[in-house]
Amino acid sequence: MKQQPLKEGSSAPEIVLKTREGDGPVCGGSDGHWQDVATKELFSRKKIIVFALPGAYTPTCSSMHLPGYEAHYDEFKKHGIDEVYCMSVNDAFVMEQWANKLGIEKVKMLPDGNADFTRGMGMLVRKENLGFGERSWRYAMLVEDGIIKKLFSEPGISDNCPTDPFEVSDADTMLSYLKGDQAL
């Protein structure tokens, strides 16, 4: 039986991500060595944004989702955000090359190659209809000291979804929330 997605007030999953330490945007980069990074360390005593998407190099992820968070990064910082992380069920090498191709310099890339974080969030979906295997459902969340304070999950979470909803996990929605837009 599939786990239900986590809700606001839940603790974010505490897992270890396999990253590369070096000179790139993936909590380091590929010119170095393997580095285990615990989400507990990344999220503790911090106010962060994590947004997750189905995959590197995919159209919506590459043209709007990741670039939107990069473009608004400095505004997020002005609202007390310590860091902005992009999470995808891809490996560190793919995440680094994707960030390089898009010119991402501020948002940190978090590779969830084994889908451990995504599974722990209850956001792992099958996308065999697109040949993707298992991937993350699209969402964004505000996490404070490891606790999910606000979660914007795209509607209709399902396996083999015939569409790619992108309505509420965007940077503008998160920024509106941080500015106090009561309609959210």
Give the HSE-up count for residue 25: Cα atoms under 13 Å, Cβ half-sphere: 22
- Per DSSP bridges, beta strands 139-144 and 147-153 are antiparallel
Q: Which two tokens stand for residue 88?
A: 């995808």
Which residues does residue 135 pair with via DSSP β-bridges, in sequence order?
A: 125
* Type and span of the H or E element at 41: helix 39-43
SS3 state of residue 145: coil
Please confirm, yes or no, whether 27 is among the known catalytic residues: no
Whether 23 and 29 have beta carbons less than 8 Å apart is answered as: yes
d(CA 75, CA 93): 28
Distances (CA, A) of 172 to 25, 99, 105: 23, 20, 19
List the catalytic residue out of 27, 61, 86, 161: 61
Active site residues: 61
